[in-house]
Every structure is written in structure tokens, then in C-alpha cells.
Structure 1
């Protein structure tokens, strides 16, 4: 498997074995629709080997440790089981390539395998997830790295721990009792190691490491201090007062003809992708509503003249289907004029209900090309979305022609 790819499961019981040249600690977390565990009982590892339909199976020196999932008895309010690994005794994965092999738990028949490559400072990984989709079960390759050990993963998914240390460092201790989240935040996650990897925020209740909206580790900011002005390649986490923004938002896109230039017909669109970067739907002037109304285009502007947004697209973040994990907002020159003939191109994100401007990105200089990727949204494991300003110019005169470069930008 490659990062983001998925394979359907034809059997109810599967075992996810994780092996490496060094000893690993393997665990599984049962997550609901909100991307969190229901309680600390949903964290399955060597000190707590049994969960609801999920079990930890030690290798005992004869083979790799594994997480066994019986999909037939996993509770209905559990959407996915993520399988994680860290090095026994701690330390980074640099120089180590773990391999996850999914097998039939009863017959041992191989179903899929995944080996995330190019690892460095990561001390813990979300390797694969077993997830429910439309009544069927699948397994997806993830490869998300963390620099703060298994405890960092656990707290990001809602498990309470008494101190930010991986369970691997407490092999002889009793299971930690549930406590309040730590007062100090865990170290930020390591950079993603694959296209489906995403950055996860500190757990609810953790104190921010820097006052918002200054950049936190990794250059990410949030909405706590009001409107955020982004520069190219900067990212804002769509979180306000500790809560993910899941209501309806409107992306407004605007432009003006360059001084002395003629009218220019640009078209805004948004392309929705799944975790494997495959386009799910494209919303543009020729298709004003997609995904059962979760994304709506407000109509075409043929000139770019006039104040305010030239085109706008509303996204009901909470109404997007679960397979949509990425959105790319684009503008293309249908008439073939180049973006060096455009001035004052921008995109801005507004709260649909209040009209409040949340994020703005001004693209000051255009290139002699016919398409531009303005911004992307990526859904995190925690359920929140992050917006990144792109400003990447490409040769594309239609929304369809922007699907491939949009996928490459995710």
C-alpha cells in the first residue's frame, strides 16, 4: 500500500501486525465520529490488552505484536481503529522502517502491507487505520509521525495520561488512572511523512505554547485573536476558543483586471478529494451544487469588475461526507488570459452565519499562466480543518484541468 490508499476487508476478523528490526510497542485506539476515544477504555495496548472488539496480541518473541480487530462486534458508535507503534524504550524511527501487515486473524492469509519510508525524528506513528464506510470495513495506510511518543498520540485522540511519557517507558507499571489533561502542552507532532498524513492539535485544555495568533510550532496559527492574514504557504487551524470550526463557511475570491487591461473572465472552483488524493467532486460555475448541497457555488462573474468578491463558494464543513479529507480552492482563466494581467487577486474565508471575515490571503503578483491554486483545506484526525495559502500557478484553463495539480498540492 501507499500512503492514503485503502483496501476493502473481505473477512470480519483481521490482525494488524507491526514489525521492525527493533522491538516495537503496538497499540490501537477506538475512535468515534468525532475522532476521539469514548473513554480511556478505548486505548488498547500491552497494559490494557482488551477493548470492545479490539485486542492487543503480543508476539512473545515468536513474531510481531499485533492489534486484532473483530469488525462484527466493534460497537456501532466506533468509526475506526487506528493502529500505532513506538520503539520499545523510546527514541526516533530514523534508520528504522516498520512494516504493517494486515492478515486474516483466523487463517493468517495476507490482505495488505504498508511500510512508511523516510522516517526521521518521529518517536511514534499512526501506521494504518481500520475504518467503517457505508456498512463495509476497509484498511487505509496512514504513516503519520509524532515527535512526542505514544502519549502524544493518545492525548491527541482524547486519552488522558498522567504525564507525557510513552507507555513503553512504563512497561512494569499499572495502567495509568484517568486524570485531567496535563497543564503543559505536549511537543508538537513531527512533520507528516506521507500525503495522507496530517498534523494533530494539542489536546483540549492544554495551554497554548505561544499566544495566538502568533505561529505555534510548525508555523500554525488559529482564529482566537480574530482575522488572520496569511502569506504564501502559511497555515491556519480553523479552531476558535478551543473548538473546531465545523459550521458553514464561505470562500470569497476576487480579482481586478491589471491597469489598462481589458475585462478578464476568471472562474473559481473547489475540488474535493479523498485520502488517496482522488477527486470526489468539483464545484464550479457549470455545477453549482455538489455532495448533496455540502458545497455550493454562488454563480459566475464574467469580468472581475466591481467591489467585493467576484465569486463565492459556501462549504458546509459539518455536512461533508467522511471520505472528503481535502479541499483545494482554485481560479482558472477560461478565456486563456494570463494571471500577469490580473491585479489584486485574493481569497478570504468568512463565517457564513455572521459574515465575519476569518482568514484572508492576498496574492500580489501573478504569473503568465492560466490557473492558480489559491488555498487548500486538510481535515485532521481530530476532526478539525486546516487552511493553507498556496498561490501556486499552473497551466490550466478549466476546473477539470486543475484536478491533478490540486491533488499534488495536498
Structure 2
């Protein structure tokens, strides 16, 4: 059974059988915007959200970034499935639009934190996007073996006017990886700005 994460909740990566997740997928799912035109006809507006992953050392220095323009980390431990330019057109199909995989066993030993962020490429307001969520699971980008945890980002007034957010951060304590579900919108418009916000406020 998966854990339904709440904003600010911290969890370890230990499964019910006592073993620890070492190779995980972080999937991001979101929907296209539905708007009515002047004739009252509902139209679909594609949403291009970009999931990115930033690796830091214990001094909060950026070591690597994985995003739609760089689909693999230097150590090969982190991989991105590729850019989704539309989101779910219509109803939520239950599938992830972008997936980042992490093999903790292959990570550079200096990596201490791994942050996941979302940026709205076209500057579409998060408050107008019908749904956005992340889930952590065992498997591959095409096969979900077992969902470990899910985090639904609810529409809230504090998301209005924002086009980027910090989803959550994996962090290492005594060689054990844990996860902090953050879900905070930021005022950044570019990935570089979001990375600085992560360094200044969330590490």
C-alpha cells in the first residue's frame, strides 16, 4: 500500500518487508487547461511542465542537473524520460507525463541531496492547471511494479500567480535516503532561478 504524502511530510524509503528502495522512479502527472471560448465551446490548452532533478553535495553545491535538455546525469544514476509538451488532454489518464529514474547505488558518493522541481515552460499559472501530482514507485518508466508513495498537489490560493514549484527532496542521513514532500510554489520563471531558490530555502 502506498503512502499518501502530505505537504511537509518526511518518510524513509523502507518497504513493509524491511528492505529499502534503491532504484526508484519519480513520475509527474498533470493535465491540460480547459477554457471556454467566446462561443462557450470548451477548448484544450496544452501545458508544458518541465520536471527537473538537481543533485547537491553536503555543502549545498550543485553537482549536476537532469532536465529535458540533459536526460542523463554524469554518473548515469539519474535518467529523464523526455519532454512532454501537452499534459493530459481531457481527463486524467493516470499515467505519468514525465518520469525521472534514480538508482541510488550508482550515485556519486558526494551526492547528499536530490531535489525535484517543476517549471511551467510557457509561463502558465499553476492555479489554472487542473491537476499535478508526483508518485514514487518501483519499476520502470513503462511498468509500475509497486507504488511506494504518492503526493497530490491540490489547487490552493497560494499557487495563483506562480509558474514554478519545488516538489520534494531526497536527502541522505547516515547513508540512508529519505524523502521530504515540499510542494511549495516559487516566483521563479526559469530553472536556474528555481535551483537558487532550492539552495537558499530548502536544503
Give TM-score scaled by structure 2 length: 0.85
Residues in 2 aligned to 1:356 and 1:364: alpha-carbon distance in whole angstroms: 23
List, as ranges, runs of 4+ consecutive aligned residues in structure 1 with deviation greater than 3 Å. Answer: none
How do 1:145-160 and structure 2 match up within 5 A? Answer: none
Residues in 2 aligned to 1:399 and 1:237: alpha-carbon distance in whole angstroms: 27
Residues in 1 aligned to 2:25 and 2:168: alpha-carbon distance in whole angstroms: 13
Partner of 2:180: 388
Partner of 1:243: 19
For 1:305, what is the secondary structure of its paired residue?
Answer: coil
Q: Indicate the structure with greater strand content.
A: 2
**1:284–1:399 contact (8 Å) kept in structure 2:** no
Q: Deviations over 1:344-395 (max 9, x none)?
A: 11000111266211110000113321101011101111x2211111111112
Partner of 1:401: 193
Partner of 2:123: 336
Partner of 1:323: 110
Residues in 2 aligned to 1:293 and 1:352: alpha-carbon distance in whole angstroms: 17
Residues in 2 aligned to 1:398 and 1:284: alpha-carbon distance in whole angstroms: 12
Residues in 1 aligned to 2:9 and 2:61: alpha-carbon distance in whole angstroms: 24
Give TM-score scaled by structure 1 length: 0.43
Partner of 1:371: 164
Residues in 2 aligned to 1:396 and 1:278: alpha-carbon distance in whole angstroms: 19
Residues in 2 aligned to 1:312 and 1:398: alpha-carbon distance in whole angstroms: 20
Partner of 2:40: none
How do 1:92-103 and structure 2 match up within 5 A? Answer: none
Residues in 2 aligned to 1:299 and 1:262: alpha-carbon distance in whole angstroms: 20
**2:75–2:108 contact (8 Å) kept in structure 1:** no
Deviation at 1:317, TM superposition (A): 1.0
**2:33–2:46 contact (8 Å) kept in structure 1:** no
Deviation at 1:259, TM superposition (A): 3.5
Residues in 2 aligned to 1:283 and 1:352: alpha-carbon distance in whole angstroms: 20
Deviation at 1:339, TM superposition (A): 0.7
Change (3 A) 1:317 1:367: farther
Q: Deviations over 1:301-333 (max 9, x none)?
A: 001125211111001111111110101111101
Partner of 2:28: 253
1:301 matched to 2:84? The reply is yes
Partner of 1:200: none
**1:257–1:341 contact (8 Å) kept in structure 2:** no
Computed over aligned residues only, the root mean square deviation of the Cα atoms, in angstroms, reads 1.5
Partner of 2:71: 288
Q: Which runs of 5+ in 2 are unaligned?
A: 36-43
Deviation at 1:336, TM superposition (A): 1.2
**1:245–1:384 contact (8 Å) kept in structure 2:** no
Aligned residues: 183
Q: Which has the larger radius of gyration?
A: 1
Taking CA–CA contacts closer than 8 Å with sequence separation of 6 or more, which of the two structures ends up with the larger relative contact order? 2
Residues in 1 aligned to 2:189 and 2:85: alpha-carbon distance in whole angstroms: 14
1:275 matched to 2:58? The reply is yes
